[in-house]
């Protein structure tokens, strides 16, 4: 497939109201663009006392979002495999008793960063993300498009009742500091491949923090209350990805069968609320692991993976996970008598730094080449993910936000040249502007 050439950006640093971030439900993108200004004005009026509207002040490049279908993105399976690998690294980096991460949210955020990377930095991101250059952009674009048919109002996730049809809301945004002079081509790539909006603010101020918080709250349906990024005068860019799922089970569990059963965890055995049902589901075994696939009413599923006794679930070998999920893809349903806990997980914000280090991306924190974003030297100052999950008899609600905080960095320098003044030397003192030498000394014996 040939991609539509990106158009130049407006180059304006003044926010333009009315653009839309992510993929809200309702009218087409073209008609949403026409009504966006009215909607934004109304939102600003209604939320004046509660901080900025989540998409207030969004600016966009003139480049249009170009959807790529999976059939035209040959690297999409590699991007999926890379997402799995990064997700496992993030899971293993958590020190929480109940670790929860969103691999997809992490890789979409990194893929946006990769659009502005060059040299060795680009190569390391390409390795971690499973594809390079235009193939990488197309792969993540296609994955985004494959999910867009289930988009809708993220606020549905906080309703008392789950929607009849699954909701999968995914949104991308880049927030630029007032001091950052961003490359127009980078903004074009964010719009073209990720349908991402751009906001400009003072990231060192409370105003910038309020803007980040508002976007996070809106695009997670309130399940994540605030951004993990704190104001900092060195901040130049924040990349944000939010993902929300709200879905009913294809076969809901009978509430009358829910009861307290023993669950043995790190702190011993204790009664835990469990759902129970015997039904026909896809089932597989590998390496002592058991796996069952629970479909939602449409398009999505949950795999429940039980390790051998004494094995930590985060230590699943990547090949075993692949074997199990591949087997579930083709397994014929069989009768499974399943008992499992209900869940409500809301772990603290996860520092993604250790996972990025394990993925070979530690250089992002040192002296990366992000010159595709800006001529100003930039470094990754922090990477955070916040997540939420609720699972019960009816279905599942889950949300996550990944945020990459990019800061001003030092200009790259050559390795220092050693100079050991351990022998006679010449000292010259001069007037800088005129170069007039004021003092000149041959120092042969500096003892005094």
Q: Please give the share of the chain, as a percent, with pLDDT higher than 70.
A: 79
Structural domain boundaries in the chain: 29-247+345-408, 259-341
**Which SS3 state, helix, strand or coil, does residue 108 take?**
helix
For 29-247+345-408, CATH number out of 3.65.10.10, 3.40.50.300, 3.30.497.10, 3.40.50.1820 equals 3.30.497.10
Predicted confidence (pLDDT) at residue 59 exceeds the cutoff of 90: no
Predicted confidence (pLDDT) at residue 19 exceeds the cutoff of 60: no
- pLDDT tens digits, 112-149: 999 999 999 999 999 999 999 999 999 999 999 999 99
Q: What is the rounded (10 degree) CA torsion for 441, 442, 447, 448?
A: -30
**What are the structure tokens assigned to 53, written together?**
């509207």
Q: What is the DSSP letter of 281?
A: E
- Confidence band (pLDDT; 50, 70, 90) for 46? very low
- pLDDT tens digits, 20-38: 333 333 332 222 222 222 2
Q: What is the rounded (10 degree) CA torsion for 260, 265, 267, 270?
A: 10
- Confidence band (pLDDT; 50, 70, 90) for 267? confident
45 neighbors 69 (Cβ within 8 angstroms): no
Predicted confidence (pLDDT) at residue 1 exceeds the cutoff of 70: no
Q: Which of 13-22, 234-243, 321-330 is predicted least confidently?
A: 13-22
Predicted confidence (pLDDT) at residue 39 exceeds the cutoff of 90: no
Distance CA 227, CA 244 (A): 15
Give the angle subtended at the CA of 136 by the CAs of 132 and 138, to the nearest 5°.
145
Q: Specify the CATH number of the domain 259-341.
A: 2.30.39.10
Q: Which of 306-310, 370-374, 381-385 is predicted least confidently?
A: 306-310
Q: Is the pTM of this model over 0.75?
A: yes
């Amino acid at each position: 497939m040939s991609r539509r050439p990106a158009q130049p950006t407006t180059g304006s640093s003044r926010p333009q109201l009315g653009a839309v971030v992510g993929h809200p439900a309702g009218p087409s993108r073209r008609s949403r663009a026409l009504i966006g200004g009215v909607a934004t004005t109304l939102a600003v009026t209604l939320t004046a006392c509660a901080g900025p509207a989540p998409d207030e002040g969004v600016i966009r490049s003139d480049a249009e979002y170009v959807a790529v279908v999976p059939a035209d993105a040959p690297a999409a399976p590699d991007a999926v495999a890379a997402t799995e690998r990064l997700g496992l690294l993030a899971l293993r980096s958590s020190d929480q008793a109940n670790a929860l991460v969103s691999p997809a949210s992490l890789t979409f955020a990194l893929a946006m960063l990769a659009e502005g990377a060059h040299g060795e930095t680009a190569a390391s991101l390409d390795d971690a993300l499973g594809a390079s250059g235009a193939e990488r952009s197309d792969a993540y674009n296609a994955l985004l498009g494959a999910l867009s048919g289930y988009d809708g109002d993220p606020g549905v996730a906080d309703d008392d009742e789950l929607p009849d049809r699954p909701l999968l809301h995914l949104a991308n945004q880049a927030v630029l500091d007032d001091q950052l002079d961003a490359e127009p081509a980078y903004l074009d790539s964010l719009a073209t491949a990720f349908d991402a909006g751009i906001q400009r603010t003072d990231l060192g101020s409370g105003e910038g923090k309020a803007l980040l918080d508002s976007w996070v709250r809106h695009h997670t349906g309130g399940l994540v209350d605030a951004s993990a990024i704190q104001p900092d005068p060195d901040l130049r860019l924040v990349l944000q990805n939010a993902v929300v799922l709200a879905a009913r089970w294809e076969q809901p569990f009978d509430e009358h069968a829910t009861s307290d059963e023993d669950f043995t965890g790190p702190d011993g055995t204790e009664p835990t609320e469990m759902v129970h049902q015997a039904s026909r589901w896809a089932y597989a075994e590998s390496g002592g692991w058991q796996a069952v696939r629970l479909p939602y009413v449409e398009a999505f599923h949950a795999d429940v993976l039980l390790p051998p006794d004494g094995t930590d679930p985060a230590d699943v070998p990547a090949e075993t996970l692949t074997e199990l999920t591949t087997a579930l893809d083709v397994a014929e349903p069989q009768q499974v008598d399943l008992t499992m806990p209900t869940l409500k997980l809301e772990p603290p914000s996860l520092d993604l730094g250790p996972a990025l280090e394990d993925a070979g991306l530690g250089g992002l924190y040192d002296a990366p080449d992000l010159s595709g974003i800006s001529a100003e030297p930039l470094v990754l100052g922090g990477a955070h993910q916040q997540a939420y999950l609720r699972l019960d008899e009816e279905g599942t609600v889950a949300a996550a936000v990944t945020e990459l905080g990019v800061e001003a960095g030092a200009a790259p320098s050559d390795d220092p040249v050693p100079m050991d003044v351990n022998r006679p030397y010449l000292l010259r003192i001069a007037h800088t502007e005129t170069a007039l030498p004021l003092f000149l000394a041959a120092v042969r014996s500096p003892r005094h």
